[in-house]
Amino acid sequence: MTTTICSMKKLLGFCLFCSCLTLLACGGKADSGDGFRVRGVNLGGWLVVEGWTKPSLFSDIPNKDLLDGTFLRLKSVKSGKYLCPEKNGERVVLRDANNTFNPIFRLWRINETTFNFRLHDKRFLGLRNGSPCLSHASKSAGPSETFEISRHHHNSTQIRIKASNGFFLQVNNKKGHVTADCEGDSDWGNHDPSVFVIESVRQLDGEYQVTNGYGPIIAPKIMWDHWNTFITEEDFKFMSRNGINTVRIPVGWWIAKGPTPPAPYVGGSLQLLDKAFSWALKHELKVIVDLHAAPGSQTGSTVSSSRDGFMEWGETEENIQETVAIIDFLTARYAKHPSLYAVELLNEPLFPDVSLEKLTNYYRAGYYAVRNHSSTAYVLLSNRLGWNPADPRELLPISTELKGSVIDVHYYHMFMEIFKSMNFKQNVDYLYTNVSTELNQLSTPNGPLVFVGEWATDWATAGFANATKEDYQTFSKAQLEVYGRATFGWAYWTFKCELRHFSMEWMITNGYINSGSLTGVSSDASRRSGDTIRIFSKLSADILKLQDKRILALLNLIGPIFIFVSTFCIVS
């Protein structure tokens, strides 16, 4: 009797095993085909700097409020009016702030005291034909577009600007415009026509700013220190221990340009990417290489290392070919590495500035560049992102065409207008209704897989609402549940960040994200059963890899026969 019950249990177990196997094998088709789903984290701010993840990286830059891409207005202390270029580029005059012409200058930094001033029409301030007359006609910045800024010792917002002819700019009362013909020192008084006040409107704090800010002598040391300390093998151990199975690694285009990339970039990030691959292999993580910063900047922001806030990626065919060549380089390097899981062709191209047509053409070329080296790496296509959302389904046609491509959507409950007035509950509701619906719309039969490649546990009104730890726990749990349905998986933004809710390491260490919930297991016992499931899914994945449905059919056939035979043996 006892033996029969035992045998029955074994039998039941085997039946379960068989159905599990079939289920997993078939279910595999709904996700990435090998039964694997990304539970990932981004290594943001590492090989592409974003100041907000680590502000201290900028702290020793001299004149660090005058970095590349600082948007500023220049006001004459004497007249209280603003420097403003005239439309024809001939002269620079003084106007009230809210005039039709946009009086905002974007700095290009040569060194800590020497600058170019770029305007909204991409022309530069300069001296006209060697005369002292200030104009803004040139499309490029040469010596006559170069100015030296000196600051008041006690008040750094007050400046004087020396032009290439050796004279300071001043407001010329008689002519009503600005000329470079002021000689000598100033007492910095309010009557001095050569004193201007800087009103800083916006700053960029990306890789361009930090490397050019420190300059060619200091920047290499700063960057190597950062690369070697910000992310280490310990972090890969931590991720692996806490249920993370993939890292998405943002890289910049200069990674493909050898040990001496174009100034101001520092060479060497490729060595760190190599290291990341070897740590990933050792700690059983997969790697997604993500081209986060493309030449010319596809976002016009810090995120893609813009110099001055203009989105200039894709403006020429050469620029697109250069980008494809970077994808080619990266894939060629890692295609044979067992940890390479996917290549992302371009992160968050700006909507609507990057046209869908241009993007689609690039995605097709980039896809084939990857396929030239790897038939298995997934190719990730990031949706366009902007202040207004693009149609989230716009990449469905191209991604359906390109086998093994994945649509990458990014979900942040901030930035966009709609989140600015949502309370906590509305954020959670939005997740379960609107985001869920969107994910469903993207998951079409025979369509591409879907990846939530960036998200974080924060929402626009969290700070004002004095959100509690429980709120954060609830929100991360809800997001994990909804994004967990994405067929390719998800990745948190980011692993380390001084804004702690954006740091997955901090969130896990402090119990804001339950790492047990990442694997769906909490106790040792269930972890063991998790291992069993993993073995099953590995087995089913191996079967699937044979890509032969007949084997599955055979398995389904053999299973019941085998059960029947063993039942017969046990009973008799």
Ligand X SMILES: *[C@@H]1O[C@H](CO)[C@@H](O)[C@H](O)[C@H]1NC(C)=O
Residues that bind ligand X (CB under 6 A): 77, 96-98, 110-114, 155, 157-158, 197, 328, 365, 368-369, 372, 418, 433-434, 463-464, 466
| Closest CB 113 distance from ligand X, rounded Å | 5
Q: Which is nearer to ligand X, 2 or 98 (CB)?
A: 98
Q: Which is nearer to ligand X, 110 or 555 (CB)?
A: 110
Q: Which is nearer to ligand X, 34 or 148 (CB)?
A: 148
Cα distances (angstroms) measured from residue 84 to each of 78, 103, 109, 136, 171:
15, 5, 20, 10, 12
CA gap 91, 62 in Å, rounded: 32
| Closest CB 367 distance from ligand X, rounded Å | 8
Cα distances (angstroms) measured from residue 96 to each of 74, 80, 81:
11, 8, 5
Q: Which residue has the tokens 């059963």?
A: 529
Kindly state the DSSP code that residue 192 receives in the 8-state scheme.
-
Q: Which is nearer to ligand X, 355 or 372 (CB)?
A: 372
Residue 189: exposed, middle, or buried by beta-carbon count in 10 A (0-12, 13-18, 19+)? Answer: exposed
Chain residue at closest Cβ approach to ligand X: 96
Q: Which is nearer to ligand X, 369 or 381 (CB)?
A: 369
Name the helix (H) or strand (E) containing 473.
helix 469-483
| Closest CB 411 distance from ligand X, rounded Å | 13
Q: 111 forms bridges with which residues in the sheet?
A: 114
Cα dihedral value 500, 504, 507, 513, nearest 10: 150
| Closest CB 96 distance from ligand X, rounded Å | 3
Name the helix (H) or strand (E) containing 332.
helix 317-334
| Closest CB 288 distance from ligand X, rounded Å | 20
| Closest CB 429 distance from ligand X, rounded Å | 8
Q: 179 forms bridges with which residues in the sheet?
A: 133, 170
CA gap 205, 9 in Å, rounded: 63
Q: Which is nearer to ligand X, 485 or 527 (CB)?
A: 485
Kindly state the DSSP code that residue 433 receives in the 8-state scheme.
I
Q: Which is nearer to ligand X, 133 or 431 (CB)?
A: 431
Q: Which residues of 520-539 are buried (b: 16+ CB within 10 A; e: fewer)?
A: ebeeeeeeeeeeebeebbeb
| Closest CB 435 distance from ligand X, rounded Å | 9
CA gap 484, 443 in Å, rounded: 13
| Closest CB 375 distance from ligand X, rounded Å | 13
| Closest CB 464 distance from ligand X, rounded Å | 5
335 in the Ramachandran plot: left (φ > 0), alpha (ψ -120 to 50) or beta? alpha
CA gap 193, 177 in Å, rounded: 11
| Closest CB 351 distance from ligand X, rounded Å | 17
CA gap 281, 266 in Å, rounded: 27
Q: Which is nearer to ligand X, 412 or 536 (CB)?
A: 412
Q: Which is nearer to ligand X, 434 or 444 (CB)?
A: 434
Q: Which is nearer to ligand X, 97 or 263 (CB)?
A: 97
